[in-house]
Structure 1
Amino acid sequence: MESNSLKNNNNSKMMSSRKDDLFHVIHKVPQGDTPYVKAKHAQLVEKDPEAAIVLFWKAINAGDRVDSALKDMAVVMKQLNRSEEAIEAIKSFRGRCSKQAQESLDNVLIDLYKKCGKVDEQIDLLKRKLRLIYQGEIFNGKPTKTARSHGKKFQVSVKQETSRLLGNLGWAYMQKSNYLTAEVVYRKAQMIDPDANKANNLGLCLIKQGRYDDAAGVLRDVLHGRIPGSEDVRARNRAQELLMELKAVQPPSPELSHILGLDDDFVNGLEMLMNEWAPVRSKRLPIFEQISSFRDQLAC
């Protein structure tokens, strides 16, 4: 009887342990009873971001997984529209974090600057990260890094990261209406690792400069599937929307009267007169035939 009781207790403990393991896997929270674990539980299980922030602070002050605690706290603060506070927290406490954590903290900072509209700070940080690439110091000297998006892990190369940072830099210059610099940056990004999203942004940049034919060519490349990522429905829809916007702002082709420097009434009256006088085989003066041809070329 005693042996059966021990077996039952052991089975019960095993089942409880499995349930705990399953709980942590489902909710993606670490195991333990430390401030950081409690903070993640408050964030992901209890859905209490304010309590999570307090516990993240405790984790940082206690030296408990500081790298993750600082980054996670900043992300939660951003969700609560406390981005300015998150920026100050990263600046104040990143010195306690490891060298390996600095790059991910920079990425969080870039998002926070974007959220706050701090464009100059964003540009400075993006340039600094690009300099690290030129100096061979990105990814802590490794050719790739593991990134995470929507819960999935994937590998990012230095080439892809360079293009991504240039794309962000181009968009930052767009916010300052520095469209010429933005264009140069976008074109460099597309030379390194082209994608449809940056192509759409380049198209918008060209529209802002009034270079409608160039913009149309870039956007049609997306619609015709000539650029990686063009199969994405959102990218194609945005390209279509930008083309419609382009048509709305593009000036009409010059009319014959504008080319001649004459008003419409004069041209129409002269046309009617020539129709009466000229033989059937040619009811236009040679000069009008030449100008009409020129007008057709302009309209193309």
Structure 2
Amino acid sequence: MKNNNNSCFKKGDENNSNYRVIHKLPNGDSPYVRAKYAQLVEKNPEGAIVLFWKAINEGDRVDSALKDMAVVMKQQDRAEEAIEAIKSFRDRCSKLAQQSLDNVLFDLYKKSGKLEEQIELLKQKLQMIYQGEAFNGKPTKTARSHGKKFQVTIKQETSRILGNLGWAYMQQTNYAAAEIVYQKAQQIDPDANKACNLCLCLVKLTRFNEAKTVLEDILRGKLPGSDDPKSKNRAIELLKELESFKFATSSSSHLVLLEDVFIESLDQLMNQYVPIRSRRLPIFEEISAYYRDQLAC
């Protein structure tokens, strides 16, 4: 490796064959490579951001440069700038990079407390699944967590997105919408963590007996993740709190809540993203039919 091709490295670094591997640096001496050096080796986030901007403007590995810059900006509490950067420059990125950018954008919305934007993005991602556009048309995708790679199925991704959507509705105190979304997520790919959130929604809707049943399923080990100490302890605490509530409630007020929130919010959840001649997402068709039957009883 010749020094004149690697000017961003300190003298002697280029002679270490393991140097790039250790620091996870790409080859070359372009603006993007220098940005990664500033980020990973020099621990200079501001310098890295400047170089990522340069890489984007010069068309140097734009897919990676935009995503990496947004991540560094988030770490520097510059989430608003990162959101605007992605919105402004994602059209320069390849189609393969769009879903990855959406994931970064969602994290930025969460950090900024932008609930409406989170919900809109999650609805778009559900629509992509419905149209067969998720995972770039493949049945699975490779994900990474704590340095390990694993495969994610469409089924798991759908449940994950629904879980995030339910959580966003909970932050809006729209518990009727959140409960319905969590119910569907549990039908698709159940787990104890989402079950705890479902229980909270049911409590807020004064459906205490149903909430207790959900918690008992966790404590009896009937759900994946029930043996996780965090989920189990959370279920125990929720059950203690639940037993302190009074179970008296008005059934008529419960139906009005479903009418007001469910029909106005979830009945139109996906309509704006579906062409006029298309039907709504099947998962929400099923939910609508279920609750129409419940309201008719």
Quote how far apart the aligned CAs of 1:73 are: 0.9
Indicate whether 1:36 and 2:25 are aligned.
no
Provide the rounded CA distance (Å) in 2 between the counterparts of 1:18 and 1:225: 54
Shift in Å at residue 252 of structure 1?
7.6
Change (3 A) 1:94 1:245: same
> Following TM superposition, by how much is the alpha carbon of 1:223 offset from its aligned partner in structure 2, in angstroms?
2.3
Paired residue for 1:251? 246
Q: Which residue of 1 aligns with 2:94?
A: 98
Counterpart residue type for residue 74 of structure 2: K
- Aligned partner letter, 1:40: K
8 Å CA contact 2:215, 2:239 repeated in 1: yes
Task: Please report how far the alpha carbon of residue 51 of structure 1 lies from its aligned counterpart in structure 2 after TM superposition.
Answer: 1.5
The answer on 1:45 being equivalent to 2:41 is: yes
What's the TM-score, normalizing by structure 1? Answer: 0.74
Select 1:214's aligned residue among 204, 210, 215: 210
- Report 1:56-135 matches (<5 A): 56-135=52-131
Alignment partners' CA distance in 1, 2:17 and 2:222: 47
1:28 CA displacement: 2.0
Structure 2 equivalent of residue 187 of structure 1? 183
Contact 2:195/2:214, CA 8 A, preserved across alignment:
yes
Partner in structure 1 of residue 192 of structure 2? 196
Q: Letter of the aligned partner of 2:100 in structure 1?
A: S
Structure 1 residue 114: deviation in Å?
A: 1.3
Task: Between 212-221 and 149-158, report the one with greater CA deviation.
Answer: 212-221
Alignment match, 1:154: 150
Distance in 1 separating the partners of 2:112 and 2:181: 23
C-alpha separation in 2, matches of 1:189 and 1:121: 21
In 1, Cα distance between equivalents of 2:187 and 2:37: 44
1:239 has 2:246 as partner: no
User: In the TM superposition, what whole-angstrom CA distance separates every residue of 1:108-149 from its partner, at most 9, and x where no partner exists?
Assistant: 111111111111111111111101111111111111111111
By how many angstroms is 1:22 displaced? 2.0
Secondary structure, in 3 states, of the residue corresponding to 1:229? coil
Q: Report deviation, 1:193.
A: 0.8
Please give the TM-score of this superposition, normalised by the length of structure 2.
0.75
Decide whether the 8 Å contact of 2:206 with 2:247 is kept in 1: no
Structure 1 stretches lacking a partner, 5+ long:
1-15, 254-300
C-alpha displacement of 1:176: 1.1
Percent identical across equivalent pairs? 70
Greater RCO, 1 or 2 (C-alpha within 8 Å, sep 6+): 2
Larger Rg: 1
| Structure 1 residue matching 2:246: 3-state secondary structure | coil
Shift of 1:97: 0.2
Once the two structures are overlaid, the 10-residue window that deviates more, 79-88 or 205-214, is 205-214
Question: Shift of the alpha carbon at 1:17?
Answer: 9.2
> Deviation per CA, 1:159-211, whole angstroms, max 9, x where unpaired?
11111101011111111111111111001111111111111111111122222
Distance 1:46 1:187, change over 3 A: same
Letter of the aligned partner of 1:38 in structure 2? R
For structure 2, the 5+ residue unaligned runs are 1-11, 249-297
Out of 23-32 and 134-143, give the one that drifted further.
Answer: 23-32
Provide the aligned length of Structure 1 versus Structure 2. 237
SS of the counterpart of 2:149? strand
Relative to structure 1, is the Cα distance of residues 92 and 213 closer, same or farther in structure 2, using a 3 angstrom cutoff?
same
Contact 2:13-2:19 within 8 A present in 1 as well: no
C-alpha distance in 1, partners of 2:41/2:151?
29
User: Residue 240 of structure 1: CA displacement?
Assistant: 2.3
